[in-house]
Structures are given as C-alpha cells and as structure tokens.
C-alpha cells in the first residue's frame, strides 16, 4: 500500500509546482491540462492543470487545478511535513515556504527538536522538523 498527497489549487497549480520544484530540486512530470478533455470548463481555463506530479529525491505528490465550479476552501485538514537532518537546512526551507505566507509557529527549538509550521503563499500548510 502507498499513501500520498494530492493537492488542489484554484488556477495557480502550475505556479505552485514551479515554486516547489525549485525549493525541493524536483521535477514537474505528467502535466495534463484541461485543453483536450471533454469537461465543461471555460476556454480561459483550458490551459490550467487537470493533473500533474512533483517528483524528486525524497518527495512525490500530485496536484491539480479544481474546475471553476468546484468549491475549494483553504483549511487545516492537511499539512505537508518535511523532516531534515540539519537545523540550518530546515530553517532555510521554512523561511522560503513562509515567505509571502503566514507563520503559525516559528521554526525554533522544541522539546523534541526544531519545528516550525506555516501556510505558504498558495494556502498549503507545511510543518518543518529536525529531530535531535
């Protein structure tokens, strides 16, 4: 069995995946737009992603732009969690992910190690960890 995340976006999936591919040194693969699909979406939405995947060393998830009539609410039902072996690497990624977003818990030392939680500029929740 394999469980993985599938992230939903409201028209900015490609931008978000480009951002994450730079942060995680990963590649956006299997891009599929709404262009040739028999789905009732406006022509202005046809170039948006119906499906894509981000794949790299130690990272893999899927994502898409929901169709314009699909409700999408930002919430706290899911957080992506990243674990590092270095405090500095964790701090660097946390600073990049939280830039333009919202910090909920600053990346700092806790009783188990270093931890920070933020929502990035795309509305995705992230937890960055370094266990001591």
Q: For residue 39, what pLDDT band results from cuts at 50, 70 and 90?
A: confident
pTM, to two decimals: 0.86
Asked if residue 117 lies in contact with residue 44, where contact means CB atoms within 8 angstroms, the answer is no
For 79-131, which CATH superfamily applies?
2,3-Dihydroxybiphenyl 1,2-Dioxygenase, domain 1 (3.10.180.10)
pLDDT tens-digit readout, 12-27: 999 999 999 999 999 9
SS in 3 state form for 6-69? EEEECCCHHHHHHHHHHHHCCEEEEEEECCCCCCCCCHHHCCCEEEEEEEECCEEEEEEECCCC
Architecture per CATH, domain 6-65, reads as Roll (3.10)
Domain extent listing, the chain: 6-65, 79-131
6-65 and 79-131: same fold?
yes
**Percent of the chain, pLDDT > 70?**
99
């Amino acid at each position: 069995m394999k469980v993985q995340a599938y992230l939903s976006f409201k028209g900015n999936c490609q931008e978000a995946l480009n951002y994450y591919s730079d942060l995680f040194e990963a590649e956006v693969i299997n891009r599929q737009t709404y262009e040739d699909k028999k789905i009732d979406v406006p022509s202005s939405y046809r170039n948006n992603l119906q499906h894509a995947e981000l794949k790299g060393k130690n990272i893999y998830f899927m994502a898409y732009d929901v169709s314009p009539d699909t409700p999408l609410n930002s919430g706290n039902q899911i957080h992506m969690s990243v674990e590092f072996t270095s405090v500095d690497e964790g701090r660097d990624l946390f600073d990049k992910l939280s830039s333009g977003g919202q910090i909920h818990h600053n990346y700092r030392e806790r009783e188990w190690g270093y931890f920070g939680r933020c929502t990035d500029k795309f509305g995705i929740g992230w937890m960055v960890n370094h266990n001591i």
